[in-house]
Amino acid sequence: MARKIGIIGLGHVGATLLHDLIAGQVFDDYVVIDKDEKKLAADVLDMQDRVANSGQFANFILNDYAALADADIVVSSLGKISLQGNAAKSRFAELPFTSQEVKEVSEKLVASGFSGILMVITNPVDVITQLYQTYTGFPQERVIGTGTLLDTARMKRAVSQRFGLAPTSISGYNLGEHGNSQFTAWSQVRIGQTPIQALLTKEELDQLAEEARMGGHTVFFGKGYTNFAIAAAAKTLIEAVLSNSRAVLPVSHYIAAYGTYLGYPATVGRSGIEATVDLDLSQEESALLDQSAAIIRERVEIAMRGDWESLVL
**Residues classed as catalytic:** 178
Cα(135)–Cα(250) distance, integer angstroms = 24
- Count how many Cα atoms sit within 13 Å of the Cα of residue 161 in the half-sphere of its side chain: 11
Cα(111)–Cα(297) distance, integer angstroms = 28
19 is in an annotated binding site: no
| Residues contacting residue 46 through CB under 8 Å, at least 6 positions apart | none
Q: What is the three-class DSSP state of 169? A: helix
121 is in an annotated binding site: yes
Task: Answer yes or no: are the C-beta atoms of 157 and 103 closer than 8 Å.
Answer: no
Task: Answer yes or no: are the C-beta atoms of 261 and 130 closer than 8 Å.
Answer: yes
Cα(119)–Cα(132) distance, integer angstroms = 10
31 is in an annotated binding site: no
34 is in an annotated binding site: yes
Which is nearest to 11 in space by CA: 80, 90, 99, 91? 80
Around Cβ 85, how many Cβ atoms within 10 Å? 10
10 is in an annotated binding site: yes
In eight-state DSSP terms, residue 2 is -
13 is in an annotated binding site: yes
Cα angle value 215/217/221 (rounded, 5°): 125
11 is in an annotated binding site: yes
Question: Which residues carry a binding-site annotation?
Answer: 9-14, 34, 121-123
Question: Which residues carry a binding-site annotation for NAD(+)?
Answer: 9-14, 34, 121-123
